[in-house]
Structure 1
Amino acid sequence: MADNTESEPQSGHSAPQAVAVLDEQLGAACASAYRVAFSALSPAIELATSFPYVHTSTPTNLQCLNECIKVSNRADAQIVRHIFQVFEKPTFVHKDRFGVVDATPEVIAAETGMSTYKVRQLRDVGSILQTLPLCSDQFDQGLVSLSVIRAVTSKLSNSAAQVCLAVDAALAPRLATLSPNAAAKEVSDLLIEIAPDEEDKAHVRASEKRCVSRPVKTANGMAKFWINMPAEQALALDSVLNELAHSAIRNGDCRTYPQLRADLLAEIMVKVMSEGFATETTCGEPFVIPPMKISVTIPFEVLARANPDWDPHPNSADGVLGDDVSMDEGEIKVLDDLEHVILGPVTINDVVYGPGASVPQYPAPAPIEREDAEASASPCGRIESAWLEGYGAIPPALAILLSAGGTWQRIVTDTLTGQPLDIGRERYRPPAAIETAVKRRDRFCQGPRCGRPTGRFEMDHVIEWQDGGPTSVRNLMLLCHRCHSLKTRKLARLVTVYSDGTRVWQIGSARSVESPRRPFRRRYSPPDDEDPPPF
């Protein structure tokens, strides 16, 4: 008679213990292999940075560049694989009566230093690569770059697995010779040839994801955004802008064609803002949007630059570059030693510290370089920049231009720190005043590795209300809806807040140090022969 009883593992470990041991061994072996690969780059780096390499020919440089790109491509393939594997396990998924929240992007971002947006992008790439074995193999060999793979996978995001396999077989033989744009076009053509009916369904699914992004800040007071919409809508928008721009040029407008397209689109939107807008809904009642406004915060020292007699604050760059500026002139406000408070239990060196405890062993942010409390510094400091809501800092000239007209609200701030002290008497309800002050101070989402400048913001207590935290400017911070949800569900825990505003978040096993976006300002002290400013 056969014995149906299950036998114990021969190693003496239970099944979960054996799995844990194997997992630890595999992790150590994989990490060791990567460290070896990293060290193997050292000889190539030493050769490439040596003096004789300066005299190498262009073909030699191109040959080395190709080999280096292969190494980079292979590393990118492994990064995509590891990110996909982390998402496959529900380690950081939280379910409650409010819904499901996945903190995996924030955990990976805290561990690696990548943005959560890029983490999600690479997750999507890894997911679709599961249905592209041939292209994935070329990626693993370093023959194809991540940009090409992303171009391919983005086109296949709404396609069925069997369609992806057919595209993979047709595309793989020439994928290594294609640029990202050529690869994307090739996939688009293949989808129509291989599965025209499926492509119609994919178009319907894709059109459901039509959107216009929020503005992305670029340099010099500029911004950009992208539009994802069905082709017929995009062509209609393009045709209107094209006709408007050409009509303006025919009537003698001196602006260029690209400038006119941008200006005329903005003019249409500004007209909607100033006059309002009425529209129909597809599944609801008609609605009317009243005229809107955008807030611009302009410090007095910026606005005063419009006065020709105003002696502006010195430019700190001029002081750094000037030969006649001595570092022993003037004074600098020296911050006291950073003190921090513990907002929740934290274990350091096997000791558990509770709320309110002082933990000198906890690693502080990078120390402030200074000599001592009596040290002096350059009289050249920073000025506070003007601020456009939903965008960020803007140049002084643009701020002065935007200040013409409009509705003004007085906000008095501390000269040294820029913190709001008095929001005026226009807003008499205390909660509204506190909210205005917090928004004026933070401006960005203060969540871990987030920093969104726009979107749905919510007020969050640093020390929770149920734990005795007051509703005050000091105990409130600005969080976007997602970061607030992560904190509420304990997926991201605020561990430490330093006196300079730096926050330490605990996300999974990693800690993310978030520095304030508006650092303490340096005080300007005029030379002894000048009178002090009248404030």
Structure 2
Amino acid sequence: MAAEACSNACQAVKLAAVAALGDADSVAKEVALELHYGARQAEGQVSLARDLAQRLPSTFEVMRRGVLDPYRASKVADQTSVLTDEQAREVDARVAGKITTRDATSVRRLVNRTVARVDPDGYTRRCEERKRSRSVQLCHEDEGMATLYAYLPAEIAATIYGRVDRVARGLRSRGEERTLDELRADVFSDLCLGVAGEVERPRGEVFVYLDFLTWTGLRNEPAELAGHGPIPAQLAREIAANATIRRVITDPMTGTPIEVGRHRYRPPIATKELVQVRDRECRVPGCHRPVQACDLDHVEPWAQGGGTDSANLCGLCRRDHRLKDEPGWHHHMTATGTLEITSPAGRTYRSEPEPLTNAA
């Protein structure tokens, strides 16, 4: 760990030296020659160095302390590239103290969420511009295969994938020999071509989180699409009424769920739903598997007296669920809902779901 911190600090020194060279076009060429980089890699280094030195001073300082690597720092720079210098510095000040213990995907999502709050009008405009770029493309590959790309609004893509995944898993449970990836591909093809399947096709389930004041139109805080990240308030209100989307209304102060939209009557929120709404993804740090595709695991094993309730259940993807049972791994849920994972090396890692209204 000390070696990694030293490496991060050295990288910060190198980036500071690159930033000191200025913005001339020739700087990237000089960096490429000196560091034996390709042209694009050198241009990326110059851009990152300039952003850290001029627009993201707090993130740069965290790098200098050795607790942030250049790759995660680049996620801050990438997500703030659309902002003015003043807006970028505001985002930088809000997130710098929260990114050192996050993986790169979590850093990107946190910064993106903060960008949406700092520049809500710009974020909405950029979302609309992206939506106008939606497309489907076909790329022919070798040996009888091809790749079909679909660039879609996040809520539509998530719903499609959720439906495909659920049908595929239903087929697998019937003893199919095809892998889950093969099943997804076949189900996707059947749905597109209108081929009738043997399994009832369940509705894909996707959660959108928005606070009560935003849901009622009294304010326009960005909402969050589970597994994706922030979306504009108006879009959230529109898709929350969609029959394929489950809306989760949260307390505007704490971010905790206070209502889960339903399409049929049920008793108060079932334990499974409550855990899914709370966790959103696999609870192991660095794993972003949507909780709907995860197992609900008893943190304290049921056979050892662990309860089947939200205080003792958490979402774990199948791989992490199996890993938990390997020798040397220990999971513990605190009274506040923080999952503590101790590895065979004796290191403890903590995971707690973030409320939608995190003040990032």
Larger radius of gyration: 1
Question: When the two structures are superposed, what TM-score results if normalisation uses the length of structure 1?
Answer: 0.33
Larger relative contact order (CA 8 Å, sep ≥ 6): 1
